[in-house]
Amino acid sequence: MSETRNNSRSRRKWIKRAIVTVIILLIAGALIFAWTSYRRNAEHNTLLKDTARVTMGNISVITQAGGTINYADTVTLESPSDGTVGDFDLRVGDAVQEGDVLLTINNELYEEEIAALEKELETLDMSLLTESSMKTSAVRSPVAGRVKGIFVQKGDDLSAVCQTLEGVVLISPDDLMSVMLPAHAAAALNDPVNVSIGDLTVNGTVTSVDTENVGITFVDQSFEVGKTAKVVDSEGLEIGTGAIFVKTPYYVIATDGIVSSIPVSLNKTVSFGATLINLEKAVHSTAYLRLLESRQEALEKLSGKRLDSATAELTAPADGIITEILTQPDAKILKDAPAIVMSDSNQFELTVNVDEMEIAGITVGKTCEVHIYALEGRTFTGTVTWVSRFSSNFEGVSRYPVTVELNDQTEILSGMSARADILVTENTGVLLVPAQAVQVIDGKKFVSVVDSVDANDQTDEEGRSVEVQTGISSGSMTEIISGLNEGDIVILPTEASSGFDRFMF
């Protein structure tokens, strides 16, 4: 009986082992079947290639460049007065409004300036007393000499003539004429020369020599101003020609009156006080009228200074931000000296550096999108306002500064980092293919074209190679100029697909 129980136990152990073995064999078979099926499918899928159709659409090329936002416009405010800068608590970065007092200037010399203007006015009053206020009906010569030019005629209004001419009559006080020759003329200082004007020849002397001209002076023989003179040296060799002019010109100025007659003529000598022009009506002398004008100017200065105070204020001309302070409390400062720089708080610009390979397509007026990193989620617009023609070199690459003016200023602060996406070029209604479909072989561009695909837009065909001409590329899409038609199917390069391969092996 004991032997029967032992046999029964042996049978059960054998059956268990058999069952486990069968199960292991079934599992192994299933794994082998699955692996074989997977390899078969993988090999089939390896033969399939992705494709894309040639489409009609729009394409644009955009350059991206980063930089820092700054204020677009700045203005330098100048001190309104000489003096000493008062205490202030203004700081760079402060926002100010139009009319805000930025600085006070204490003018310790205010009383002295008032006294100086009063003294100037007193001096002018004394000069007016000295200068006759009586009217005169003639323009008289202030110097003795030879009349070399008369620039008015009977009926002329001197007030109109004086606005366009240096004077009404030209007098030569020393009776000398001159001519200028080019610097290369063979002449030295004090050399004697002969000057020929028309049929008359006179002795002359080289009176000036510099890097540009050689000056010749000679005695006037009633020569006409502007005539051409030929100059020869003591040996009879010509050294140059030029137009003659009065060596020491004295222009007689008259600013009022109507010309009734001119009692002098060209090349006649006149004495001091001689009548040059008779007037229809008596008028004040030019010197007297000038003194009156000077007195009026001095009086206006004095009146303006008296309206000022010993303390002047520098105020903000508009709303803005203080960007630079060029002085400090208790510092001495001169009138019109730069004191403060402020910026318009509503005008910002972004300066970016563009790679040399992309700068050619960027011009003033190009539009762009601006992405400010601190204001994520918002897109700003801008316009290119400046493109530098001078580059900087960074790691062997030339970059060109480009300035973009921002159209929307909301929430922007100076110093924020940003990126500009600048539209370089754009084509509409053109043929497009994915950029990876275009292969370059020996400098030429090709695509692989097939006639049909499966339901997943894949093909196991090798396709036929077609040469194409391309246009611009956005990086993801490329424009096709020739070689393909809309609807054509091109093969895309395949990628290694099996992650399971790596896991198994």
Shared domain for 436 and 504, answered yes or no, is: yes
Domain presence at residue 216: yes
In a domain, 285, yes or no: no
Residues 48-104: tens digit of each pLDDT: 888 899 999 999 888 888 888 888 888 899 998 888 898 988 999 888 899 999 999
Amino acid, single-letter form, for residue 133: S
Question: Do residues 354 and 368 touch, judged by C-beta distance below 8 A?
Answer: no
Q: How confident is the model at residue 404 (pLDDT cuts 50, 70, 90)?
A: very high
Q: Kindly report the pTM of this predicted structure.
A: 0.44
- Three-state DSSP state, 440: strand
Q: pLDDT band at 196, cuts 50/70/90?
A: very high
Q: Which of 324, 343, 362 is the last residue of a domain?
A: 343
Question: What is the reported pLDDT for 8?
Answer: 62
Which pLDDT score, from 0 to 100, does residue 452 have?
87
Mean per-residue pLDDT, 104-121: 79
Write out pLDDT tens, residues 250-277. Answer: 999 888 889 999 999 999 999 999 999 9
- What six digits make up the tokens of 372? 């400010």
> What pLDDT is attached to residue 30?
72
Check residues 452 and 245 and name the one with the higher pLDDT: 245
Task: Give the C-alpha separation, 429 to 167, whole Å.
Answer: 73
226, 245, 264 — which closes off a domain? 245
CA angle 495, 500, 501 (to 5 degrees): 75
Q: Report whether pLDDT(426) > 80.
A: yes
Parent domain of 442? 51-71+347-505
CA dist., res. 103 & res. 89, Å (int): 9
Beta bridge partners of 147: 171
Residues 325 and 241 in one domain: no
- For the chain, give the mean pLDDT: 85
356 and 498 housed in the same domain: yes
Across 2-11, 387-396, 449-458, least confident range: 2-11
The amino acid sitting at 375 is L
For 33-77, give the DSSP string: HHHHHHHHHHHHHHT-EEEEE-EEEEEEEEEEEEEEEEES-EEEE
480 and 336 share a domain? Answer: no
Q: Which two three-digit tokens encode residue 157?
A: 């209004």
| Cβ 340 vs Cβ 323: under 8 Å | no
When pLDDT is cut at 50, 70 and 90, the band that residue 429 belongs to is very high
Domain-terminating residue out of 294, 328, 343: 343
- What whole-number percentage of the chain has pLDDT above 90? 37
Count the helix, strand and coil residues of the chain and give each as a percent rounded to the nearest 5. 20, 45, 35
Domain membership flag for residue 290: no
Backbone phi, psi, residue 214, to 5°: -120, 125
For 149-187, the pLDDT digits (tens) are: 999 999 998 888 777 788 899 999 999 999 999 877 778
**More confident call, 462 vs 383:** 383
Confidence of residue 230 (pLDDT cuts 50, 70, 90): very high
14 and 93 together in one domain: no
Whose structure tokens read 């009548």?
275
pLDDT band at 125 (very low <50, low <70, confident <90, very high): confident
